[in-house]
Amino acid sequence: MSSTPRVSLIIPAYNEASTVSEVLRAAVESGIFSEIILVDDGSRDGTGTIYERTRKTLLSETEPGVVPPQMKLVTHPKNLGKALAMRDGLKLAAGEIVMFIDADLVGLKPSHLRSMLEPLTDDSDYRASLGVFVGGRAATAMAQRIAPFISGQRACFREDLAGFTAWERVGFGVETALNRYLQESRVKVRVVELEDLTHRMKEEKRGAVRGFGARLKMYWEIFCVWARSKFTRNSRKGV
Could you give the angle at the alpha carbon of 109 between the alpha carbons of 105 and 111, nearest 5°?
A: 130
| pLDDT attached to residue 142 | 47
Give me the pLDDT at residue 65, please: 87
d(CA 24, CA 11): 9
Q: How many CA atoms lie within 13 A of 30 on its CB side?
A: 27
| Distance from C-alpha of 85 to C-alpha of 42, rounded to nearest angstrom | 10
Q: What are 60-69's contacts with CB under 8 Å, separation 24+?
A: 68/28, 69/9, 69/27, 69/28, 69/33, 69/34, 69/35, 69/36
What domains does the chain contain, in order, with CATH numbers? Answer: 7-232 (3.90.550.10)
Per-residue pLDDT at 137: 55
User: Residue 53: what pLDDT?
Assistant: 97
Rounded CA-CA distance 230/239 in Å is 9
Q: Decide if 47 contacts 14 (C-beta within 8 A).
A: yes
Low-confidence ranges of the chain (pLDDT < 50): 1-2, 141-142, 146, 202-203, 211-212, 215, 220, 222, 225-226, 230-239
Angstrom distances, CA of residue 87 to CA of 4, 45, 165, 171, 174: 25, 22, 9, 11, 10
Determine how many CB atoms are found less than 10 A away from the CB of residue 143: 17
Alpha-carbon distance values, 59 to 36, 87, 91, 129, 184 (Å): 13, 27, 24, 29, 41
124: DSSP letter:
S
